[in-house]
Amino acid sequence: MKNIVEIKGLTKKYFNKVALNNINLNIEEGRVVGVLGPNGSGKTTLIKILTGLLRQTAGEVFIDGKPVGVYTKSIVSYLPDRNFLYKWMKIEDAMNLYKDFYADFDEGKFNDLLTFMKLEKSMRIDALSKGMHEKLNLSLVLARNAKLYILDEPIAGVDPVARDQILDAIINNYNEKSSMLITTHLVRDMESILDEVVFLKEGNIILQGNAEALREERGKQIDDIYKEVFGEWGDSNA
């Protein structure tokens, strides 16, 4: 199968601090990969390199066979872990911004997602709750017909009902031609939608594999493996 993402020997240092240490990771077409790890493990650094917001110190990153650049930005749809829309906007303005920016933005798909999320185009951004924000941002990101979707903590801090809607939207928009990379520390809620998992700890991949194979091999859920691997850290977010 074709790899959408190929990462070889990726290292990122901030001065003396090593944020990512010699990471190797391939993501095949049609796969949903979870990058799991507590805060400060290097998840966001990895994403910022994939999206071209940061440059690596060493190593190679290819997306759809090309080094990170103008082309890869046009095929990567990225959900940041913070709000990126102006407060004065209405949902409709946000949609128009995306339409202008991204040739692969599919308005029909966006409208369907809005309906599914029970959001209206006339709503003001600054009047949205945290859960609604997350739902809107995800709708914008999934409405693009991208090859790679990168979702940074898509369900952090939202209530269980919104969480279910978000998970449904992710599953409904799965397609065999695209891949997804999702970071989370809410493993229990996400694990049934992941094909593969990558455990990041202090910038190193300490465990990586097919989620079902890991469950079979260890007789445990990914959530329990996560607690075992990171438990000694006492990460209260897990």
Partner 1 sequence: MDFNENLPIYMQIMNLIKSKMAAGEINGGDKLPSVRELSKELKVNPNTIQRAYQELEREELVFTQRGMGTFVTEDIEVIKNLRKNMATDLVNRFFMEMKKLGFNSTEVKNIVLDWIEGEERE
**Near partner 1 by CB under 8 A: residue from 4, 23, 25, 32:** 32
Q: Does residue number 47 form part of the binding site for partner 1 (CB under 8 A)?
A: no
Please tell me the number of Cα atoms within 13 Å of 21 on its side-chain side: 11
Stretch that binds partner 1, among 28-36, 98-106, 113-121, 197-205 (CB under 8 A): 28-36
What is the 8-class DSSP label of residue 192? G
| H helix runs in the chain, sequence order | 43-50, 70-75, 91-101, 107-117, 130-142, 160-172, 187-190, 211-218, 222-230
Q: Does residue number 97 form part of the binding site for partner 1 (CB under 8 A)?
A: no
Task: Kindly state the smallest distance separating residue 57's Cβ from partner 1, in Å.
Answer: 34
Residue ranges in 176-235 that form contacts with partner 1 under rule CB under 8 A: 192-195, 211-213, 215-216, 219-221, 224
Q: Are 5 and 65 in contact (CB under 8 A)?
A: no
Q: Does residue number 26 form part of the binding site for partner 1 (CB under 8 A)?
A: no
Task: Kindly state the smallest distance separating residue 148's Cβ from partner 1, in Å.
Answer: 17
Tokens in use for 15?
């001065």
Mutual orientation of helices 130-142 and 91-101 as an angle, nearest 10°?
30
Stretch that binds partner 1, among 9-17, 38-46, 115-123, 169-177 (CB under 8 A): 169-177
**Near partner 1 by CB under 8 A: residue from 92, 107, 164, 228:** 164
Give the residue with the Cβ less far from partner 1, 128 or 190. 190
Tokens in use for 219?
């007789």
Task: Kindly state the smallest distance separating residue 230's Cβ from partner 1, in Å.
Answer: 19
CA 229 to chain centre: 21
Pattern 64-83, partner 1, x by CB under 8 A: --------------------
Task: Kindly state the smallest distance separating residue 103's Cβ from partner 1, in Å.
Answer: 27
Q: 175 φ, ψ to 5°?
A: -145, 155
* Rg, Å, the chain Cα set: 18
Give the residue with the Cβ less far from partner 1, 1 or 70. 1
Q: Are 165 and 197 in contact (CB under 8 A)?
A: no
Tokens in use for 77?
């749809």
Structure-token match 């790890």, residue found? 37
Residues that bind partner 1 (CB under 8 A): 30-32, 164, 167-168, 171-172, 174, 192-195, 211-213, 215-216, 219-221, 224
